[in-house]
Amino acid sequence: MNTPALTAFVYGALVLAGGWVGYKKAGSRPSLVSSILSAAVLLLAAVLSLSGNPAGDTLAMAVALVLLVFFGVRLAKSGKFMPAGLMVAVSLATLVVLWTFRRP
């Protein structure tokens, strides 16, 4: 099993779902657009990883790190767990899995 590819794909699906929920609940177009772009890059990362290219793992880690920082700042400003705290937790877990199973 290609754990980094699966992780990138699942994380991308969660990011996309979160953006969709943000759009439906709050009418946030930036949330929807950024989630679509992030999910597309994560899908690309998963495809690269599946093809054996270690750049896919690196790309997925980069996206997870950017989202971790972004949502960490939002969590610090708002103090609200939803959605920022949840995304911090999911992004951190994703980074741990990707780092653990990365290829040299």
Tens digits of per-residue pLDDT, 31-74?
999 999 999 999 999 999 999 999 999 999 999 999 999 999 99
How are the residues of the chain apportioned to helix, strand and coil, as percentages rounded to the nearest 5? 85, 0, 15
pTM over 0.85: yes
Instruction: Return d(Cα 86, Cα 103) in angstroms, integer.
Output: 27
Residue 53: give the domain boundaries.
3-100
Contacts of 3 (CB under 8 A, 6+ apart): 97, 101
Q: Report the number of distinct structural domains present in the chain.
A: 1
Query: Residue 28 pLDDT > 90, yes or no?
Result: no
